[in-house]
Structure 1
Amino acid sequence: MIKKLISALVLVLLVSAVHAQIKTLNGKTISQTALDQFLASQVGPAGLPGLSLAIINNGKIVYHRALGTANLETQLPLNNQSVFEAASLSKTVFAYFVLRLVDQGVLNLDTPLYKYMPYEDIADDERYKLITARMVLDHTSGLPNWRTSDFADSTRHIAKGALYLKFKPGTDYAYSGEGYYYLSKVIANLTKNNLTTLDSFFQKEVSIPLGLSNVWFSSNPFITNHKVTGYVNGKAIHRWPGSLPKQDSTWFGAAGGLHTEAVGYANFLIALMKGKGLRKKTANELFKVQITLPAGGDFDGDTGWGLGIGIRPGFQGNDYNHRGNNGNFQSYYRINREQQSGYVFFTNCNKGGDFNERLEKFFLTGK
């Protein structure tokens, strides 16, 4: 997980294309040349293999760079079409997708999901019938992160690998990819799809209407030809992101399977901040504090959660963010809805969290 960030002051960037200056909210200005030099110092043998980064100002992408190496073995350079795993940044995009369907009356945020599709994996615990789409999206479903790694307390005598509930749904917070997996199966069922066809439906409902490029939840030839290699401590890891048995590249990975790059994702964030494609009330619901996190907890600076999005104090009102960590791919975005500004980046290694701390320090101090 990405470590707690240095300061809310560093976050939202105001960029003047005319003067080629990046201005932080504390009044400091940094030139594009200085930022170019900083990023170049972060990519290479001692740092990140590759990086795709975009900065948003006033609802527009004003800075974008794709730097470094797509594959260290072949020394293939990274370019503007290079595709990364978005990891858990997938969740915000999926939440938007769900809210599009809520607006269309396909499902209701507060209708128990079992009424749409019973879930045999956890049917032996009647409490699961309380789980709603809202609870999944704000991580109050009670489901573990992943049944394959987030095991129940041994005193409960639940077999490792079995799905279970940590608590009564709706009563507490626990980050859960399993909830997103369950909801994706419900969405597939309601739209007469399955997990191997749901991405095509997503393209029609989200990517095409928003004019997004390079944003997919399932594999396709473009990803095959343009995906960069991910690394953990310099070792190449070749796998499609998956946390469940038999999960492969054909599945719609709502919790961590999105593949994209900085421009494609930044354009999504711009649409999200503008509320494009959603009713105003629905868009506001996504950014609304659905659950307040306990003070003093290890939440990487977040104080609350909306629907598929983390909430934290910013220099001017709340800022919204999400971290992504698939091990060999790490990513992050942070935005301010009122100012329509922020940034997003993707890396192909396990050093994205450390990079983000250095990036925000640079935004604050210019060093």
Structure 2
Amino acid sequence: MHDDPAGMIGRRTFLGAASACVALAALRPLPLRAADPAQYDHPWIPSDAFLADLPEWMRAFGVPGLGMAVVEDGEVAWHRAFGIADMANGTAVDADSVFECASLSKPVFAYLALQLVDAGLLQLDRPLVRYCRPDYLAKDDPRLERITVRDVLRHSSGLPNWRGHPDREPLRTIAEPGQGVNYSGEAFYWLQLAAEAVTGESLDQLARSRLFEPAGMHASTYAWNAHVARHSVFGEPAPGTTPTVQTFHRQWSLLQPIAEAQGKPLREWTWEDGVRMLPRARAAAPEGMFTWPGDLLANSAASLRGPVQDYARFIAHVMSRGSRQHWEIAEATRQAMLAPQMPLRAGWLDKGLGWNLESIDENTRWFFHGGANAGRYKTFTVGDPQRRRGLVVMTNGGGGTGVYQRVVRAAIGRDLLAFDL
């Protein structure tokens, strides 16, 4: 159920792909096997023998560079870089390399949304229209009124992943909210605007003050800055595929001079700034690059970028902790985040709040998420919250799925059902 099936989302392929698991929820559950407490109780750092072979797998799948990090006992314990960050100049991937996290953006934003729930600024079961009613919503779709914050976070909003033509196509539901899984970046973007409405902050301002700085994710951003421009990896398409535009790279470089002229950094741009700056952005860019205000802004569903160890620091805060810091979500909220909210395959796979959940045995459930941007960036993370360990893998190659699956299998000692759906 990773975000990698090909050809699912049309124009918005750079924003990650949709889940293919909706119909599986109706399958009859089979009993899980009895738990073996020792079977998976080992560190997730890959062996030296596997790491020695990893460059060969990267070459086979056409993946120039890769970063991975491991969490043990709720702390970042290990990280490693492999390969090339930019094929044009031969720059190596290193500890400072900034990857596109792709749809791994969503669990981070879900955490931010749950922080706002804990603060009383959002309510999980309150309709989104009570917080924000964008003018791009369809006027003749009463189901939009029933979409809640919870629906967004568990992908039961009934909204499509992305509209093909957001400049002229209203956002409308394709299914009844709350009744099943429809993987939707549009829903996350709408919730982003709701968060902006209740806080008065842009997405990146919110993330920096409430998560990135306190969690030590200093090199992460949903937007763009000088450090990111200097250290970003450049993605390569999978062998034999047609290259697509590296949209975020090109968009941000064109918007940066506009932001500087306005005296307002891109990380601070809100929806109103996007509306105001759209004509100027269109005039400075190739036709079709900027079609609606959302193309100018940070995107909660897809535009997070940072070094792999920053993301590992984030998933460490999804684990149980002896004492939680004041900025972290409450323990009850954390447990709700990792509790089944909507079935994908009954008894085996579920949606949590921002996470996918896979049952490993009758007493163990792991969280995971994958991502894909522009056919050039493939990412994956998985965590065992009971044993407080996790793994993050980020690549800058369109063939990265085959590589990260091998990394995960070698590190955790088992396959994931998610890889076959």
TM-score (norm. length: structure 2): 0.72
How far 1:233 moved relative to its partner? 2.5
1:331 to 2:384 alignment: no
Aligned to 2:121: 106
Higher relative helix content: 2
Aligned to 2:344: 293
1:175 to 2:183 alignment: yes
How far 1:62 moved relative to its partner? 2.5
Residue 58 of structure 2 contacts residue 403 of structure 2 at CA under 8 Å; is this kept in 1?
no
C-alpha change, 1:237 and 1:120, in structure 2 (3 Å) is: closer
The amino acid of 1:254's aligned partner reads: S
C-alpha change, 1:171 and 1:224, in structure 2 (3 Å) is: same
Q: Distance in 2 between matches of 1:46 and 1:39?
A: 11
The amino acid of 1:165's aligned partner reads: T
Superposition pairs for residues 27-66 of structure 1, below 5 Å? 32-44=47-59, 47-66=62-81
How far 1:44 moved relative to its partner? 4.0
- 1:213-232 per-position Cα deviation (integer Å, ceiling 9, x unaligned): 22211111111111110111
Higher relative strand content: 1
Residue 215 of structure 1 contacts residue 260 of structure 1 at CA under 8 Å; is this kept in 2?
yes
C-alpha change, 1:221 and 1:143, in structure 2 (3 Å) is: same
1:221 aligned to which of 222, 226, 229: 226
Aligned to 2:317: 271
Q: Describe the SS at the equivalent of 1:134.
A: helix
C-alpha change, 1:114 and 1:30, in structure 2 (3 Å) is: closer
- 1:188-217 per-position Cα deviation (integer Å, ceiling 9, x unaligned): 111113xxx331222011111222222211
Task: Could you tell me which runs of 5 or more consecutive residues in structure 2 were left unpaired when the two chains were aligned.
Answer: 6-19, 21-37, 252-288, 415-421
Q: Distance in 2 between matches of 1:310 and 1:258?
A: 18
Q: Distance in 2 between matches of 1:82 and 1:215?
A: 11
1:345 to 2:390 alignment: no
Q: Distance in 2 between matches of 1:254 and 1:29?
A: 29
C-alpha change, 1:252 and 1:211, in structure 2 (3 Å) is: same
1:238 to 2:284 alignment: no
Aligned to 1:210: 215
Q: Distance in 1 between matches of 2:294 and 2:94?
A: 26
Task: Could you tell me which runs of 5 or more consecutive residues in structure 1 were left unpaired when the two chains were aligned.
Answer: 5-22, 152-158, 296-300
How far 1:171 moved relative to its partner? 1.5
Residue 44 of structure 1 contacts residue 68 of structure 1 at CA under 8 Å; is this kept in 2?
no
Residue 126 of structure 2 contacts residue 149 of structure 2 at CA under 8 Å; is this kept in 1?
yes
Aligned to 1:86: 101
Aligned to 2:12: none
How far 1:63 moved relative to its partner? 2.3
C-alpha change, 1:249 and 1:24, in structure 2 (3 Å) is: farther
Aligned to 1:191: 199
How far 1:172 moved relative to its partner? 1.6
1:259 to 2:343 alignment: no
How far 1:286 moved relative to its partner? 0.6
How far 1:47 moved relative to its partner? 3.5
How many residues are matched? 332
Between the two proteins, what is the percent identity of the paired residues? 29
Q: Distance in 1 between matches of 2:304 and 2:233?
A: 14
Q: Distance in 2 between matches of 1:244 and 1:337?
A: 41
Q: Describe the SS at the equivalent of 2:248.
A: coil
Aligned to 1:16: none
The amino acid of 2:145's aligned partner reads: K
How far 1:27 moved relative to its partner? 7.1
The amino acid of 1:290's aligned partner reads: Q
Q: Distance in 2 between matches of 1:30 and 1:288?
A: 26
Q: Distance in 2 between matches of 1:259 and 1:247?
A: 20
The amino acid of 2:398's aligned partner reads: N
